[in-house]
Amino acid sequence: MSRESLYFAYGERTPQVMGAIIGRVPEYEAAALTGFQLCIQHIVDIPETVQDILAVNRSKREIEEFRAYVAAPSADKYVPGLVFRGVTYEELDILDNWDIEGLWFKRHQDQPVQIVNHDYDATTRLGMADTHADPQGDLTVVNAPFEGVFPPALNNPQRIMEIARIAREEFLSGR
């Protein structure tokens, strides 16, 4: 039996995108990563090594226009998102591959998140998440409120899911 974990997702990591990345959609609920703010990182501020990796399976135009949501430390802010439950360690490896872990994003074990549970009088409880960004370069802070858990898509969601499926298949075939 494989061990399981919690995984905090934000930005464009919708349940549909999560399903494309790992091959299924785990159970999830609304959450907020406290002590961080949502920002946008532009392609020019992403390390060149990562830009080269991102260019695989993308057109030149997609790369030029590419932007990503990142969570930057900020004591009095929070990043809305989802906590996915029951993510296996094998799926965390797939997510690390997708996030280009270590070169672009860094997983931080046991990062506190507030889990917003609307089924029980909107009470909150403390949970743990596995990942958030290690942003570099000039970031654009997302100040405007947006509806729901996820902000507007920065990139074509269908293309992101297509690329995620390809990346998962390539990662799993190379094991």
Residue 159 pLDDT > 60, yes or no? yes
pLDDT score of 152: 82
Stretch 20-49: mean pLDDT? 89
CATH number at residue 109: 3.10.490.10
pTM metric for this prediction: 0.82
Q: How confident is the model at residue 119 (pLDDT cuts 50, 70, 90)?
A: very low
Tell me the C-alpha distance between 168 and 174, whole Å: 10
Residue 123 pLDDT > 90, yes or no? no
Tell me the C-alpha distance between 62 and 141, whole Å: 22
Number of domains composing the chain: 1
Q: How confident is the model at residue 121 (pLDDT cuts 50, 70, 90)?
A: very low
pLDDT, the chain, mean: 81
pLDDT score of 72: 83
Which domain does 17 fall in, by range? Answer: 4-173
Tell me the C-alpha distance between 26 and 18, whole Å: 8
The token pair that represents 74 in the structure block = 């900020």
Between 33 and 97, the higher pLDDT residue: 97
Stretch 52-59: mean pLDDT? 90
Between 132 and 65, the higher pLDDT residue: 65
